[in-house]
Structure 1
Amino acid sequence: MENRKRNLISILLLLTALAITLYMVSCDLKLTDPDLTNAPSNLKLKKVEEGRIEISWTYQIPEHNDSDTLYFVIGRKVGTGNWNDNYQNISTLFFTYVDNIPTNDSLVYAYKVKFYNKSMDESSPYSEIIAYLSNYCDPTNIQIEQISQAQVQVSWKDHCVGEEGFYIDKKIGNGNWTSKYRTLGANVTSFIDDINLFEEVYYRVSAFVGTTTTGSVENSIIPTYLPPSNLVLSKPDNNKIRLNWQDNSAGETGFHIDKKIGGSDWIEHYATVDSNIVTFIDNVTEPCGTFSYRVKAYSGTHTSGNSNEESINILLDLIGEVSTPGVAQDIMTSGWYAFVSDNYAGLQIIDYSNPESPDIVYTMDTFDDRVLSVDIEDNFAYVTSHSGTVSPGLITTVDISNPLNPQPSGSSSTSGIPYDIEVIGDFAYIADGDNGLTVFFIANSTPDFVVNVATGGHAQRIFVNGNYAYIAQGLNGIAIYDITDPYNPTLESTYLTTGAKDIFVNNNNLYIADSEDGLLIIDVSTPSNPVLVTSVHTNGFAFGVTGQDDYVYIADSEIGLIVADVTTTPSSYILGSYKMDTAPNALVFSSSYTLSIDNEGMKIIQVEP
């Protein structure tokens, strides 16, 4: 009897458990349904409008009688922050979600979705990750640097905040792309790869988050020999330049040497040396100049990149200098003496018989205020000055037969501000500012006024050549006067420039220091019809000009001393330069030197052997 009771109780318990199970199966989720192990799929993300994006997905919802307990749970991650796994819960009646986010910056917004049964606290796995990546997230500035003959380093700029990593695609020559050749982690912006010489290789880089990628950036390189480095120039003497460099390649046939003189074009393959040779001596035939070189390895048609470019001056060296107490305005020489009009400090007489150690031997300060210009004829200096008021300036005759004891002999008033003076024979011609051209007869101890002619501009500098006076007038360009009769100068022609500061004439060519426009060369073989031959840009501000034979010397207030080769006038070019930061404004040629003046005084630069 007792056993029958026990069996009955066991049967009742079993039936009760079975009933509960049947109830759960009929009224709740089929937990053993394989669909529950599947995550939402086919995630898509699109920008609806500025500041709004939409996520969509698909999912097969298991059979269930109580839909109020079923949800989709959206997780979101912003930038480099942590996941918010319960960012939003939405009804299973919807398979899209709209989120408000910034859509025009580099911050990453990543999303994932799962199915959730609230009543049973059961959920599917999360879906794949999808993200909004604006154009601001695209990597840029991809660079490929060959670091050896067998390797390159690829680098780029990372703009993304919160990327999962970067995909690297690679292609050799005209072949197909190898997608995801490399996968790199977040914030990694370079990697090293093996390559083959002379075989073009392409790389492209994109950032990714989950299944979403940014736009890509692409570049390529043809690996070749590594360029030589550490090119060094030296001067065994003033006729030779020695090159030395470091050989960084292996297997090259030799080295090509390129050369450039001053502002001319590069002479490619100027010289060639054999493999493993790392020195070359160049013979220089020019009297002076700035010479530049670069070297590259080669084999057949393949060449390396260029070495560092180096430049060296032949001559064009500062030999000596002397400071003057004022601000030098003009300079002229007689023998081994330089006469410098030194503005408010008078006239400085400088002995430069030892060019390495020029010395002021006399200061003549008896002039009215500013000393502006000086010219020399025989044993006399003719000095112009101005009081600084509205009254006209003065021309003063000074006996310099003894430069250590100069003696003034007489003065006369000019018509305006006498910026420059040129003496030819018995006459002095003055660029007299707004009053134009003034002529004096100077055969007597006191200059005698002859005539004043308005030139239609602001006369600043003057140069006399033969029967013509050439006047620089700044913004008004050039005026050319026939002075066959000094008592009656007549206008021959004008030529408009942007800022004529100084002039020089040689062999029927007029050379103009034309401010920002550099050096202008004008054919004045017919003075009544000046014609532009060429211009030479100095890349500075041409202020003064003079010349000797086939060379023209320019005082450029932003560059320094510039030498131009005008042997073939239409093909004139800058031969070299001596850098100065003291704003030179005028210069003369003397023996093998140029003497230039600037805001410090006078400098002597050697330009010929």
Structure 2
Amino acid sequence: MRLLITFALSIFIFLSCTDTSTSPEEEGLKKPSDLVLQQLDNSSILLLWEDESDNETGFEIDRKVDINAWEFNYQIVGEGATGYLDTNLTVFGEYQYRISSYNSFEESEFIESSIQFRDQDTLAAPSNLVLHQIEDLSIILSWNDNSSAEEGFCIDRKIGDNAWEENFQILDANSSMFIDEDLIEIEDYTYRVKAFIGDEFSDSIEGEIYFYYNDVEIITLEVAQNNSISKTLIATLYDENMNLVVRDYTVWFKIIHGPDGININYTLFGTDDSLSVQSENGVAVVTLNPGTVAGTAAIETYVYNLQNNRISVIKSNIVFHSGPPDNIEIVIGGIDSGIDMGGGVWQIEVAAIINDAWGNPVNYNTAVWFSVEDPQFPGTNPDWATLEAEAYVGNENANGDSLEGVAFTVLNYEGSHTNDSLLIYVEVSGATSTLVEEVLVTAPLQFGQVDLVATPSHLDWIQGSNTGPKETTIRVLVLDGQNNPINGQTVYFSCPAGMPIGGIDPYIGITGVENGQSGLLYKQYSFQKYECPPPPPIPGQVTYNIEVLILGAGVSDTVPVTLYRYVD
């Protein structure tokens, strides 16, 4: 062990004394990288890292032991150092280290890592292994932890005459309990528990228990009226003596036949598949919902028991009646969903989703009436947008799609009115009166683009007395895919340096009319002298890209601004 410490110290002294001096760089300090911690023995930890800077004065090391406070500047090591040996340690536990480089001007970010510092001389086998079955689901293992230095515990498992499942579970240090859950096989379960450090294992302790529960032999299915439309299906699981099986099983529900659109939990439609749910305390519940027409349905419910036997039951003559329209939801096409109709006009889809009082799609061919209104002038149609008025449930949209309970139409609008508001109305006959739904929508941007110009495109600090900020003006023009200028469009400014000026949030702007031209926004951007590197060479020079993002559209562009600094 003394040879190992001597060798580690030799490595540390060699790394610390290596001449890494280079000429100063203009860029700032970089944090060290690849911090590695290694326990050498019961009293020392070796720290190794990569030096990423060439202009540091040295490295500052902070340390934290377990839940104690950080020891700031715990150690200071010199320029070019890439290692440190922390010795004379007496407390076992978690050791955390942070390392940063520094010079007389600044300090870098730090790199951080931690290690569990353990007593490497003690690894005893656990004792007093106790196994106990918890209801019909699990086996709990408990034991005495007799080690003070283990990294954790390894559990092996064996079911019946099967082979051992080695490393079945790996637990943390100081563990003394484990619950083996969701067991299926009725069999003898044997477990081995042992402590470990790295590749070293203690002796194991072993125990065995017979795991048993009542298996499913009978299933029943009851139908309860959820409301005047939907039904609740209740499947109950029993053993051969009609005792309720409280263990959870996967229970399957299958539609044998039924009216068009009939479904289970609004998930399973048609007769080609089955829907699975987990039973709880021997009971599995789903909801059977009607389609768009009246009729009768038959449902099969089944489960597989431990012997893989299929236990099933079929319920027939489940009667459904359709309901009249009761509620309407209006949805329009969004950003970049439009069709280019030419002449600056876009076409987007409008859909009315119509259900009965129980959330079921209404019948096909239900008549629907659409209309549009200018909210600024109530009772009038906008002169920049039109809507096809007549539609019916089950019609096709522009893609040839037809959906249950949905009526489609199209809205045409001039792209120059993007971001302007519209009121869309939908009317349909309900049970006793005409249902009317309205929604206030905004004409969405279609295939937006942004054009940027910076004036001036470069900023100069020529005289030494001129230390104040310099400003450039960014001209932003937002267009759609047909080159319509877009007013009312929110954009976001960002840049690695400088900052925008003006407004409640200077990084946000909204396009509008400037000097008689639409779609424009002017934003001043300010840069400081220190954001440009000083000479030499003359002039100091750096270029920053200012990015402008159209919020909600994911479209952006950048414009470069170059800074020149002729004096220090």
Normalised TM-score (structure 1): 0.25
Larger Rg: 1
TM-score, L = length of structure 2:
0.26
